[in-house]
Amino acid sequence: MKNQETNISPDLQQFINIFQPNKFKHLTRGIEVRGISNMHTTITQAQHLIERLGLKLTIQHDAEMLSYGGFEVINS
The model's pLDDT over 5-29, given as tens digits with 9 standing for 90+, comes to: 457 899 999 999 999 998 999 999 9
Long-range contact pairs involving 10-19 (C-beta distance under 8 Å, separation at least 24): 11/55, 11/56, 11/57, 11/75, 12/55, 12/57, 12/73, 12/75, 14/53, 14/55, 15/46, 15/49, 15/50, 15/53, 15/55, 15/57, 15/73, 18/49, 18/53, 19/45, 19/46, 19/49
User: Is 19 part of a structural domain of the chain?
Assistant: yes
Say if 2 falls within a structural domain.
Answer: no
Overall number of domains in the chain:
1
Tens of pLDDT, residue by residue over 56-69, are 999 999 999 988 89
Residue 59 placed within a domain: yes
In a domain, 22, yes or no: yes
On whether residue 32 sits in a domain, the answer given is yes
* The model's pTM: 0.85
Domain that holds residue 69: 10-75
